[in-house]
Structure formats: structure tokens, C-alpha cells
Amino acid sequence: MQGSANLNLMIKAARKAGRSLVKDFREVENLQVSSKGPGDFVSKADREAERIIKEELLGARPTYGWLGEETGGQDGADPTRRWIVDPLDGTTNFLHGLPHWSVSIALEHKGEIVSAVVFDPAKDEMFVAEKGAGAWLNDTRRIRVSGRSKMIESIFATGVPFGGVGPLPATLQDLARLMPVCAGVRRFGSAALDLAYVAAGRYEGYWERSLNAWDIAAGLLIVKEAGGMVAPVREGDEILEKGSLIAANSDMFDPLVKIIRNQD
């Protein structure tokens, strides 16, 4: 894939942060960890990865705005462009030694995501997309959503909220309706990778509630550029603002929306 200068910059930043994260992952039991809330952890690894990415991106594009999980938001001199970054999506997996976590970087232009990177350093898988240019894995393989068209043959992914609060009751109701009619539901703990896996045809669909913009901004574009469809859980909501979404291939999209929105 011949990416833009911005996309190449994002890939470089993701790889640099990924190297730092892999080093910390090998010594995860020694990391300093604090809690932001029930089931919500932050470590030295998160903060260092965001520092690396921010230094790379704003060093090259100092006029762009910024929204990062660990450092929050800041306006740039160019109000039309903003980086949206999750330096470590899947922190709980990371801290438990589970090799399923990612770096997520998106570029927003005039309110629309135009470039996206989701990098899985543990598996060395780099999912990228640019608006109008398709979605790619590791620079050489163009990816597409799956062609499965039967619900009973389809696998879906979601996130189950921790701590028994927030959207947990709704998610359990979703599972009760969906699990009897599909081939299975997976909960792996990284929203960015869940979306990338939909784009790569590994899942037929994914849904989740109450996420943050940095969790899903990059993955949304990758799904759309791979031929998938996305919608808010509640019709009329803005996905990045509300953080609740449904994503699927074209055949499973309407059936999944119907189940998650509980439409008879």
C-alpha cells in the first residue's frame, strides 16, 4: 500500500511505541500499576507509549490537535485536524500477560476519520486504512470483511463491562438473544483489535457500549474501508461521542442491528 505521509508517520509512531510495549510486556510483573477506577488500570507502559507517540506525531505535525487516553485533549493551531490515540488498548490483558493488546492511532480531519492504524505488537500485525484507499494488513495484503451470510455460521465479538455497572445488563440481554442463533461470541478485551478483526474477516460482527473515542476511532475507518458497515447502538447517536457501536459485514449487519437494538 502506498500510504500518505501522515499514514507513514502513524505507522512509524505505532511501531516505535510497540517496541517499548513489547519490552515492558516481557517484564510485566515489575511494572508500576495504578487504578483509575474499578477494573481500569494504567501502568508505566501506557504512559511511556503515549509519550512516544505524541512526541513522534506532534513533533512532525505540531499544528494538529490531540486526544489521548492518558494525556487528554489539547487544541492545535489547525482546528481541522486531530490525532486520536490509545497507546495501549487492552491494558488489563497486558498486565495479566495475555498477548492480546494494541496501539490505536487515528487522524481526524474536519470531524471525519481519514487515516487509521491498529498495531498488534505481540503478533506483529499492522492494520491500516485511509479514506478511499482500502484497508490493509502488514502493507501487502488488502483485507475485506468476511462473506459469511448465515447467522448460525457467524462469530461475533463484544466487550463485557467490568465491575457489574453501566451497560452490563444490556450486554447480558444482547448475549441472551444472540448466542442461541450464532456460532459463538468472543470477548478478547481490545476494542481496536475487535474492529480490525471484523475488517479482516475473522469475525462477522462486533458491538459494544460505553467506549471512548480513542478505543474505536481507528477501527471504525478500517472496518468501513474493508467493506464493512457501522452504526450506533442507539439510532441517531454519534458513534465517537457516545462510544457505542455495531460493526459487521454487509450480510450480518441488519440481523445484528436488529438483535442489539432489540427490534422485533
- Confirm if 38 and 57 have CB atoms less than 8 A apart: no
What is the DSSP annotation of the chain? ----HHHHHHHHHHHHHHHHHHHHHHTGGG--EEEEETTEEEEHHHHHHHHHHHHHHHHH-TTSEEEETTTEEE--SSTTEEEEEEEEETHHHHHTT-S--EEEEEEEETTEEEEEEEEETTTTEEEEEETTTEEEETTTEE--------GGG-EEEE-PPGGG-TTHHHHHHHHHHHGGGSSEEE--S-HHHHHHHHHTTS-SEEEESS--HHHHHHHHHHHHHTT-EEEESSTT--HHHH--EEEE-HHHHHHHHHHHTT--
- Confirm if 79 and 183 have CB atoms less than 8 A apart: no
CA angle 184, 190, 196 (to 5 degrees): 75
> Would you say 120 is a known binding-site residue?
no
> Would you say 69 is a known binding-site residue?
yes
> Would you say 89 is a known binding-site residue?
yes
Tell me how far apart the alpha carbons of residues 119 and 258 are, in angstroms, rounded to a whole number: 31
Residue given cell 499514514 in the structure block: 7
Residue ranges for the known binding site are 69, 86, 88-89, 215
Binding positions for Mg(2+): 69, 86, 88-89, 215
